[in-house]
Amino acid sequence: MTDKNAQDETITWQTGHCYLGEVLVARTPGGVCAVLPGETPEELVTELAVRFPSATLEHANNSRVEWFTDVMSYLIDSRKPLSVHLDLRGTDFQCRVWRALREIPSGSSASYGEIAQRMGMPTASRAVAGACAANPLAVVVPCHRVLRSDGSLSGYRWGVKRKQSVLSHEQGLSER
């Protein structure tokens, strides 16, 4: 999904490494707009450019910028509050789903159907899954916490192996 709203906008990005592999965090003047895990920084910058084709991408070139360190700290321990503002860009429905996902506590999970129920749209579980797949903010908007109704893992935009890794990491945090 590309975001046509980034016309003539500068998006600042920085990459780092954690248990998810390489991670790119990007920020607009409105807040963090992308958290993308992957294999290489180059792959992640390409993904960011595809998502925001009309934006000017600028490397922060400083791993200590506050918004970057806050997101990386959250990736390590998602029980901590996230202090940066998020710039959620999607349809009204996607943004509603993403806000609902942020209410699922670290170490917990919900089904696509449960999220649809909470939103007052009990037949929208497939649409919820679609919104999860479009999520550009890995872990920060916790689509990894959404499972099939039988509790099994389903697809994950960044791979089922990475989804299992995030869930296991959060489970370990909640057991401390």
C-alpha separations of 118 from 96, 100, 111, 124, 162 in Å: 11, 8, 11, 11, 26
pLDDT, tens digit (0-9, with 9 covering 90-100), for 105-163: 988 899 999 999 999 999 999 999 999 999 999 999 999 999 888 777 877 788 888 88
Q: Cα angle vertex 94, ends 91, 97, to 5°?
A: 150
> Exposed, middle or buried, 17 (CB in 10 Å: 0-12/13-18/19+)?
exposed
Q: Which of the residues are catalytic?
A: 143
Query: What is the tens place of the pLDDT at every residue in 9-45?
Result: 999 999 999 989 999 999 999 999 999 999 999 999 9
Q: Could you give all domains of the chain from N- to C-terminal order, each with its CATH number?
A: 7-76 (3.30.160.70), 92-174 (1.10.10.10)
- In angstroms, the CA 116 to CA 119 distance is 5
For helices 92-101 and 125-134, what crossing angle results, to 10°? 90
